């Protein structure tokens, strides 16, 4: 039988494989995070008909060496390579959708083993877990305790219904001006609500009484609690209207009416020789308690994801706390990963072990929230490859039909 028949069959079979890969690429042109593949061919073993010979050792002889005589036996699939180039991003506006820019992959788990994906179309399940929408695998990352990220990588669960504990006020900041032209005995007041450890609010009032051209006495009180210490003192200003020493350093302490533990508040009047706090200029008095750092209890209302994959929760009391951070996996050879369906990959013998990290910490990839990575299939390239695959298939089919005609001629010699 002619060797060309089997070479043609190999060509048909392997060009069909190439067409299968092209068809799969085109079928996944709109699959989230899909990475296209390509086929490369290699020649099959060649049959040796005559070996090579070296030139004669006698330099006076005529003639030289001869090359080997070989006949190829067709071709086979050399490799099917995964193309891991970046896909374009599609903005979705869904805050649980995340896209990666870089070579990293998201890490998900079925409860027994980790898998990896570029598809960031995540969603929340009934228990608040962040899961892959294709198969429900749990997204992996590190959780935060009281706003501080831990080191352990585990299932990400967003604690809807979680409370942000109340925080007692520890600092109150003053700003503004005390009128340098105010008469001796002039009284000014400013009030701000402060919180105790239970989150209960009380009005803290500071009264200023002018005692000389450059001094003001102050008195601090709360509307319901009992003053413990640090509620009186004197402020002195220099000839340029700047606050000078002694600036009060002892905190104001009071016992809340709610029964909470005593609250110690550092009242910031401003730095000496500075006008960032209180000042004394010939201008209307505008001294005001500008801000304080306490707050009441709050409920988690919404969350967002930044470009490091950090999930931040916004609570009803205006507080924002870090809740979790998405884990990312990097591989020495991501093209060596093994597809398992559902947009998932698993480790193979040639991918290398995953190196787990986080965007900005061990991984150079970045996360985009409210977007998805589109397929990186290039339709123009796929259609061109389809043409070459078709022509290759046709040509190999011609080899088979021509070989058949030659065999037919051979059989006809008997007639």
pTM of the model: 0.76
Query: Tokens 């990293």 appear where?
Result: 104
Q: How far is CA 126 from CA 118, 130, 160, in A?
A: 24, 10, 11
Residues 193/203, Cβ–Cβ less than 8 Å: yes
Domains in the chain, please, with CATH?
3-49+67-84+376-412 (no CATH), 91-149+307-332+340-373 (no CATH), 171-292 (2.60.98.20)
Q: Look up residue 240 and give its two tokens.
A: 């340029």
**Residue carrying the six token digits 């977007």:** 371
Percent of the chain with pLDDT over 70: 96
| Local structure of 384: helix, strand or coil | helix
Q: Which two tokens stand for residue 70?
A: 């070989």
- What tens digit of pLDDT does each residue of 65-110 get? 888 888 878 888 999 999 999 999 999 999 999 999 999 999 999 9
pLDDT digits (tens, 9 = 90+) for 3-49: 788 888 889 999 999 999 999 999 999 999 999 999 999 988 777 88
Supply the pLDDT for residue 226.
94
Roughly what angle, to the nearest 10 degrees, separates helices 379-412 and 3-27? 160
* Dist. CA 205–CA 189, nearest whole Å: 7
pLDDT in tens, 139-173: 999 999 888 999 999 999 987 777 778 899 999 99
């Amino acid at each position: 039988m002619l060797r060309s028949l089997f070479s043609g069959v190999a060509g048909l079979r392997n060009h069909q494989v190439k067409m299968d890969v092209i068809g799969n690429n085109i079928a996944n042109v709109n699959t989230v995070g899909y990475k296209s593949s390509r086929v490369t061919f290699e020649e099959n073993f060649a049959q040796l008909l005559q070996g090579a010979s070296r030139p004669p050792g006698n330099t006076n002889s005529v003639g030289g060496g001869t090359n080997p005589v070989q006949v190829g036996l067709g071709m086979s699939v050399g490799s099917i390579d995964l193309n891991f180039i970046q896909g374009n991003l599609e903005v979705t506006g869904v805050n649980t959708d995340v896209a990666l820019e870089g070579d990293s992959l998201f890490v998900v788990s079925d409860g027994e083993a980790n898998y990896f994906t570029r598809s960031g179309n995540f969603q929340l399940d009934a228990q608040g877990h962040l899961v892959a929408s294709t198969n429900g695998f749990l997204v992996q990352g590190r959780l935060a305790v009281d706003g501080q990220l831990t080191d352990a990588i585990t299932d990400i669960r967003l604690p809807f219904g979680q409370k942000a504990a109340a925080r007692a006020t520890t600092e109150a900041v003053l700003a503004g001006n005390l009128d340098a032209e105010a008469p001796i005995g002039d009284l000014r007041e400013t009030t701000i609500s402060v919180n105790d450890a239970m989150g209960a609010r009380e009005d803290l009032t500071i009264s200023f009484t002018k005692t000389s051209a450059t001094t003001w006495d102050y008195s601090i009180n709360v509307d319901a609690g009992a003053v413990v210490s640090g509620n009186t003192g004197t402020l002195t200003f220099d000839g340029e209207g700047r606050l000078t020493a002694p600036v009060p350093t002892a905190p104001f302490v009071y016992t809340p009416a709610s029964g909470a533990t005593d609250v110690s508040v550092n009242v910031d009047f401003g730095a000496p020789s500075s006008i960032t706090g209180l000042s004394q200029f010939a201008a209307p008095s505008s001294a005001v308690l500008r801000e304080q750092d306490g707050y009441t209890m709050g409920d988690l209302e919404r969350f967002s994801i930044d470009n490091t994959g950090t999930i931040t929760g916004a609570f009803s009391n205006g507080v924002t706390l870090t809740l979790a951070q998405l884990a990312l996996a990097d591989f020495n050879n991501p093209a060596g990963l093994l597809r398992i369906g559902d947009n998932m990959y698993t480790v193979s013998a040639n991918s290398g072990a995953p190196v787990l990290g986080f965007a900005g910490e061990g991984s150079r990839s970045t996360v985009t929230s409210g977007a998805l990575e589109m397929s990186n299939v290039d339709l123009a390239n796929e259609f061109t490859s389809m043409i070459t695959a078709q022509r290759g298939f046709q040509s190999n089919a011609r080899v088979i039909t021509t070989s058949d005609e030659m065999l037919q001629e051979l059989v006809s010699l008997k007639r």
